[in-house]
């Protein structure tokens, strides 16, 4: 999956602050203190950790056993805070137990036996096999256990499913009714018993099960009762007899449900055609936890199985699924049933997909695969670019991975209502329309967005689909890899799209987020549904991709990394893995004698949160490198001695630009000395081309020497190195290692800078400070900041043209420069924008605004109420979605309070503005002065509606929280934000993004306190 805002916009940098002394934190909201609880768990006794059970204890033979388990689990919870969910251990095996284990087991059995006896003789409860269902106030333990909807004891007490049963194949029939927005379904699951058990537990959510039959081996099918425990979205069938290891069985479930009105599960979507007619369709989005909303299943990534899918539809629709269509049957009442081939591969449930719609398509063959692009009929002319790009990338990946894409078809489908950017369902990749459709006259910058999303999703067909993470704690194995491959493949296949600047910016943003105490390790514990949702964040995607780049850059030659991942894909094809499996595969590639063990080196990057600050100090020819954890928030609780094995690369003034200049030193301890540097060297630049995931500080005149060199000739360093100096300097100012005066001193060199990445990085960082000052109503400083930016970048702004431009890099540069100029009300920029808009409106569609300038032009237009109304009309009529989104951002950038409120409400209603765009609307409104407080009120008032549309923890909710709070820098706002989220309790208070928001406000607050005086002096 790729989240929509991850690739198309510069995320706001929010963490303007420096290291602070400890400050009081809310007891309830302190990251380490938050108690995670299920959304609506009926477990009434605290301490029965859903996550506290050992794998070895999974069974469901009787309530007595359950009682024993709960007893033990409570003890286990006291013993250790670690959860077994971070790793899925091997299924129960017959390893010889140690003497200590035997003693512990004996003790445990005695306790279980005693408790069972006590319970048995308790009055009022006949201890039956189905538990002790009757209400009986004399039994203190009764409430401990999950009670199913029917009132019976539910035979499983963990969030993750037991591993005694393995699904082999699913036979699904789905019958959606797009008039009543309901569907019925039948799921036949063939399973194998891995361990003796008396129950089958699987997932189901919001499905009304109407009939259930069960067949064991060659026996007769018989009716069975299905128990449901809604808080964990689980159902179970309990048996009186034991299902024995090695037996096969079949469970058939018939059910009915409503099509979902959100963006996950089997959901309905509609769109209006040009002639005003409304069309409806149904599509799926299952990752991470929503396959269970469409069919009962073992909904976890490591329960892979094959799928045979049948979809019923009306003749005016078509249906699509993962596999090619095998046959079509006419049924009574004008219903058609399409049957798709059984999947030729074992697949995780989150990758299953089906669509019923009246789409049109274009197709082309690439080796053995038919690639097609589907869209609503009136947008079919926007599909050519996606087809061409998809085919080229498929060919590239087939060659690169040396494993051919395994299916006979690959469909890329643009869905009118789609929350994420795209989803990699095997053989049926679904996209937001803006991530797939490209207008005939689109700029290369717009093509870059579409190509990178396609590249990301195609990479998933190998990383994720073929080899899948075992559990969501290692989501980065899917997302970090797909993100890395997306940039790597585009650099090779479409060099004209110049993806390098974007990848560099993405790495800077990943550092900014990971510098917060509220960040998490790449591979981290995940226990709750909300935590699964929250794994879809910049650490899994962007830090994941960054550390893969760092590893690749540290290996000798350009093929070692590729060899390692081919080996990994071949070894684990069709299976599930964890992070260690990847590092072990990569450890087998050839490395130089100095290169540390790959597994050892990379584990230091995936197992701990944050990244190192490398300080370079120099005494003559002796250069010392020291590492420490780069932490914006000093927190005694996390004062650990984190160490990383860092492949430190560096260049010097003797040789600094060509790849051969690069030297590598492995910093494995706290501090080490570089010996081979001659004393005549004037300066050292560490982290060549910013391929390492760390920040560098230069002591003893190191910064001054670099700034001096740049002021004479910017070309002494690559543009990535220059951009990384800018980024690192701002980050160090937040940390308090350098003064803001030093930041301004570095930026002086920029009067000679013409390359995109250093300029866009500086503008982004200055823009954040500008907006914070603006919102604190520091009018004098705002005016001085404005004149500083216009003075510093004025000549470069003046040089920008307003005509069509081919180079992506130049488009990025001018859209950033002109965007900043117009937002500062620079006269020339405003008048040029207005003129272009006028020309555009008056030409009736014949004249065009260059794609990369549309955002600037629409934003300026939206500041006049008359043009805002024109823009709204244009928005309603536009069919090309990339352009439409820019109009929407224009509309949301108005500074008219009434219009802001209208835009927010329209986004929530979802009629004029699609609800999927609400996160974008909110973040745009928050950038402006007028709207950010409205948004904060809006979110508080509408929180329940928001989490009904976007799941708690989802990327959309993360974006909304971050946008709404990152502009705050006062104690009053901190108290408000803290108070509001605390009051939400299970409706959101436990989210990591809430911790991030609070930390960011505190950091903003402290940065302001510390730097306002400096700004007064130096700006």
Residues annotated as catalytic are: 457
- Considering only CA atoms, which of 18, 113, 106 is closest in space to residue 634? 18
Which stretch, 72-80, 477-485, 531-539, 789-797, contacts Zn ion (CB under 5 A)? 477-485
Buried b (16+ CB within 10 A) or exposed e, 176-211: bebeebebbbbbbbbbebbbebbbbbbbbbbbebee
Site for Zn ion in 303-362 (CB under 5 A): none
Question: To which H or E segment does residue 191 belong?
Answer: strand 182-193
Q: Which two tokens stand for residue 60?
A: 């469901």
The 8-class DSSP code of residue 90 comes to P
Give the integer Cα–Cα distance in Å for 775 and 827. Answer: 23
* Angle formed at CA 710 by CA 706 and CA 713, multiple of 5 degrees: 140
Closest distance between Zn ion and the C-beta of residue 287, in Å? 9
Indicate whether 482 belongs to the interface with Zn ion (CB under 5 A): yes
Exposed / middle / buried, residue 116 (Cβ in 10 Å: 0-12, 13-18, 19+): middle
**What's phi and psi for 94, nearest 5 deg?**
-105, 40
DSSP string, 728-744: HHHHHHHHTSS-HHHHH
CB of 454 to Zn ion, least distance (A): 12
Q: Please give the order of strands across the beta sheet that includes 234-243.
A: 197-203, 234-243, 227-229
Under a CB-based contact definition with an 8 Å cutoff, are residues 209 and 226 in contact?
A: yes
Distances (CA, A) of 526 to 86, 396, 652: 6, 34, 44
Rule CB under 5 A: is residue 2 a binding residue for Zn ion? yes
Q: Which two tokens stand for residue 694?
A: 């760390």
User: Based on CB atoms, which residue is closest to Zn ion, 544 or 988?
Assistant: 544
Site for Zn ion contains 545 (CB under 5 A)? no
**Closer to Zn ion at the Cβ: 479 or 812?**
479
Instruction: Give me the phi and psi of 473, to 5 degrees please.
Output: -60, -25
Q: Which stretch binds Zn ion (CB under 5 A): 251-259, 384-392, 473-481, 749-757?
A: 473-481
Q: Is 655 exposed, middle or buried (0-12, 13-18, 19+ CB in 10 A)?
A: exposed
**Smallest distance, Zn ion to C-beta of residue 453, A:** 9
Instruction: Tell how many helices (H) and how many strands (E) occur in the chain.
Output: 30, 29
Under rule CB under 5 A, how many of the chain's residues touch Zn ion?
4
Binding range to Zn ion, per CB under 5 A, among 283-291, 475-483, 613-621, 692-700: 475-483
Query: Closest approach of Cβ 570 to Zn ion, in Å?
Result: 22
Contact window for Zn ion (CB under 5 A) among 149-157, 238-246, 478-486, 750-758: 478-486
Taking contact as CB under 5 A, which single stretch among the options 285-293, 316-324, 482-490, 498-506 is the one that binds Zn ion?
482-490
CA trace torsion 303, 308, 309, 310 (10° rounding): -150
Applying CB under 5 A, does 419 fall inside the site for Zn ion? Answer: no
Nearer CB in complex with Zn ion: 487/938: 487
Residue 266: CB minimum distance to Zn ion, A: 21
Distance CA 413, CA 380 (A): 11
Q: Which of 105, 50, 41 is nearest to 77 (CA)?
A: 50
Q: In angstroms, what is the minimal distance from the CB of 404 to Zn ion?
A: 21
Residue 35 CB, shortest distance to Zn ion, in Å, is 31
Q: State the minimum distance, in angstroms, from the CB of residue 456 to Zn ion.
A: 5
CB of 261 vs Zn ion, minimal distance in Å: 25
Please say whether the dihedral angle defined by the alpha carbons of residues 440, 444, 445 and 448, taken in this order, is positive or negative.
Answer: positive
Residues 393/427, Cβ–Cβ less than 8 Å:
no
Q: Which residue do the tokens 């108070």 mark? A: 979
387 is a contact residue toward Zn ion (CB under 5 A): no
Collapsing DSSP states into helix, strand and coil, what is residue 2?
Answer: strand
CA distance 193 to 511: 46
Nearest residue (CB) to Zn ion, 57 versus 479: 479
- Per-residue b or e along 293-318, where b marks 16 or more CB atoms closer than 10 Å to that residue's CB: bbbbbbbbbbbbbbbbbbbbbeeebb
Q: Where do we find the tokens 């008032």? A: 941
The total number of residues written for the chain in this structure: 1019
Tell me the closest approach of the beta carbon of residue 957 to Zn ion, in angstroms: 18
Region binding Zn ion by CB under 5 A among candidate stretches 305-313, 382-390, 471-479, 849-857: 471-479
Q: Is position 1 an interface residue for Zn ion (rule: CB under 5 A)? A: yes
Distance of CA 111 to the CA centre of its chain: 45
What is the nearest approach in angstroms of Zn ion to the Cβ of residue 479?
5
Sheet strands side by side (includes 306-313): 222-223, 208-216, 248-258, 182-193, 165-177, 306-313, 335-340, 325-331
Whole-number Å distance between alpha carbons of 352 and 323: 10
Q: Is 145 or 426 the residue whose CB approaches Zn ion more closely?
A: 426
Comparing CA positions, the residue from 602, 394, 370 lying closest to residue 480 is 602
Do 55 and 163 form a contact (C-beta atoms < 8 A)?
yes
Can you read off the two tokens belonging to residue 1012? Answer: 């306002």
User: How does DSSP assign 333-384, residue by residue?
Assistant: TTEEEEEEPPPSS-B-GGG--EEEE--EEEEEEETTEEEEEEE-GGGGGG-H
453 contributes a contact to Zn ion by CB under 5 A: no
Provide the binding-site residues for Zn ion, judged by CB under 5 A: 1-2, 479, 482
């Amino acid at each position: 999956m790729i989240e929509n805002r991850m690739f198309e916009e510069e995320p706001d940098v929010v963490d303007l602050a420096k290291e602070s002394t400890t400050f009081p934190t809310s007891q309830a909201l302190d990251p380490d203190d938050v108690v995670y609880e299920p959304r609506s768990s009926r477990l009434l006794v605290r301490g029965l950790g859903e996550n506290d059970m050992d794998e070895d204890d999974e069974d469901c033979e009787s309530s007595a056993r359950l009682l024993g388990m709960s007893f033990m689990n409570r003890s286990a919870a006291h013993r250790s805070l670690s959860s077994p969910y971070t790793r899925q251990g091997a299924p129960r095996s017959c390893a010889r137990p140690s003497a200590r284990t035997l003693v512990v087991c004996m003790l445990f059995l005695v306790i279980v036996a005693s408790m069972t006896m006590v319970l048995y003789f308790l009055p009022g409860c006949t201890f039956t096999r189905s538990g002790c269902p009757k209400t009986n106030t004399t039994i203190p333990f009764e409430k401990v256990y999950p009670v199913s909807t029917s009132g019976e004891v539910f035979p499983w007490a963990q969030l993750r499913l037991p591993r005694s049963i393995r699904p082999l194949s699913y036979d699904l029939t789905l019958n959606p009714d797009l008039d009543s927005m309901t569907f019925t379904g039948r799921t036949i699951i063939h399973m194998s018993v891995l361990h003796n058990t008396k129950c089958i537990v699987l997932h189901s959510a919001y499905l009304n099960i109407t009939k259930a039959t069960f067949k064991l081996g060659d026996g007769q099918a018989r009716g069975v009762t299905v128990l449901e425990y809604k808080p964990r979205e689980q159902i179970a069938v309990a048996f009186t007899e034991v299902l024995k290891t090695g037996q096969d069985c079949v469970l058939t479930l018939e059910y009915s449900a409503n099509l979902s009105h959100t963006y996950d599960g089997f959901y309905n979507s509609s769109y209006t055609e040009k002639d005003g007619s409304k069309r409806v369709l149904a599509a799926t989005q299952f990752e991470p936890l929503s396959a269970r909303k469409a069919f009962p299943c073992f909904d976890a990534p490591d329960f892979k199985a094959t799928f045979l899918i049948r979809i019923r539809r009306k003749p005016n629709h078509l249906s699509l699924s993962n596999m090619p269509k095998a046959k079509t049957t006419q049924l009574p009442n004008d219903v058609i049933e399409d049957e798709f081939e059984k999947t030729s591969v074992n697949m995780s449930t989150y990758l299953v997909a089906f669509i019923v719609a009246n789409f049109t398509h274009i197709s082309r063959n690439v080796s053995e695969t038919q690639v097609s692009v589907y869209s609503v009929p009136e947008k079919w002319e926007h599909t050519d670019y996606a087809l061409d790009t998809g085919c080229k990338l498929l060919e590239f990946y087939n060659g690169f991975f040396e494993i051919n894409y395994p299916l006979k078809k690959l469909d890329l489908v643009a869905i009118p209502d789609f929350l994420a950017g795209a989803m990699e369902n095997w053989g049926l990749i679904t996209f937001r329309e803006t991530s797939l459709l490209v207008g005939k006259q689109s700029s290369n910058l717009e093509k870059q967005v579409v190509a990178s999303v396609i590249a990301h999703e195609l990479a998933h067909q190998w990383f994720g689909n073929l080899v899948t993470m075992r559990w969501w704690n290692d989501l980065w194995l899917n997302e970090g890899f797909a993100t890395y491959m997306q940039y790597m493949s585009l650099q090779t296949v479409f060099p004209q799209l110049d993806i390098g600047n974007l990848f560099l910016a993405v790495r800077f943003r990943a550092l900014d987020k990971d510098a917060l105490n509220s960040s998490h390790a790449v591979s981290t514990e995940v226990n709750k549904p909300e935590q699964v949702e929250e794994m879809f964040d910049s650490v899994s995607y962007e830090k994941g991709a960054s550390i893969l780049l760092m590893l690749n850059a540290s290996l000798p030659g350009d093929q070692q990394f590729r060899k390692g991942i081919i080996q990994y894909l071949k070894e684990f094809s069709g299976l599930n893995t964890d992070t260690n499996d990847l590092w072990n595969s990569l450890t087998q590639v050839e490395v130089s004698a100095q290169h540390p063990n790959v597994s050892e080196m990379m584990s230091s990057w995936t197992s701990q949160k944050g990244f190192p600050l490398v300080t370079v100090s120099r005494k003559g020819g002796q250069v010392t490198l020291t590492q420490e954890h780069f932490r914006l928030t000093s927190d005694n609780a996390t004062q650990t001695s984190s160490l990383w094995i860092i492949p430190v690369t560096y260049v010097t003034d003797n040789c600094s630009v060509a790849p051969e200049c690069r030297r590598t030193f492995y910093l494995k301890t706290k501090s080490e000395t570089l010996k081979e540097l001659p004393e005549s060297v004037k300066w050292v630049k560490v982290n060549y081309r910013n391929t390492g995931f760390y920040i560098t500080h230069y002591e003893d005149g190191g910064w001054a020497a670099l700034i001096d060199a740049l002021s004479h000739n910017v070309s002494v360093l690559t543009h990535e190195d220059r951009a990384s100096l800018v980024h690192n300097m701002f980050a160090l100012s937040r940390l308090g290692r350098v003064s803001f005066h030093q930041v301004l001193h570095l930026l002086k060199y920029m009067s000679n800078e013409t390359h995109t990445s250093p300029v866009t990085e500086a503008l982004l960082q200055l823009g954040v400070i500008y907006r914070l000052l603006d919102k604190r109503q520091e009018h004098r400083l705002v005016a001085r900041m404005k004149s500083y930016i216009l003075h510093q970048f004025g000549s470069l702004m003046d040089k920008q043209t307003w005509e069509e431009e081919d180079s992506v890099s130049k488009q990025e540069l001018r859209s950033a420069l002109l965007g900043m100029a117009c937002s500062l009300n620079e006269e020339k920029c405003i008048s040029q924008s207005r003129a272009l808009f006028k020309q555009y409106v008056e030409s009736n569609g014949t004249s065009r605004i260059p794609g990369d300038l549309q955002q600037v032009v629409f934003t300026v237009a939206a500041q006049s109420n008359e043009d805002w109304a024109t823009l709204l009309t244009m928005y309603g009529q536009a069919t090309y979605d990339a352009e439409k989104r820019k109009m929407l951002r224009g509309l949301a950038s108005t500074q008219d309070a009434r219009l802001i409120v209208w835009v927010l409400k329209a986004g929530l209603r979802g009629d004029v503005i699609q609800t999927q765009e609400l996160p974008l609307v909110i973040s745009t409104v928050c950038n402006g002065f007028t709207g950010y407080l409205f948004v904060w009120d809006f979110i508080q008032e509408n929180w329940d509606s928001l989490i009904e549309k976007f799941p708690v923890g989802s990327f959309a909710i993360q974006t909304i929280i971050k946008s709404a709070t990152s502009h705050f820098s006062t104690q009053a706002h901190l108290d408000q934000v803290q108070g509001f989220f605390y009051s939400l309790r299970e409706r959101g208070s436990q989210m990591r993004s809430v911790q991030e928001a609070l930390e960011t406000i505190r950091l903003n607050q402290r940065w302001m306190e510390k730097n306002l005086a400096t700004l007064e002096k130096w700006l």
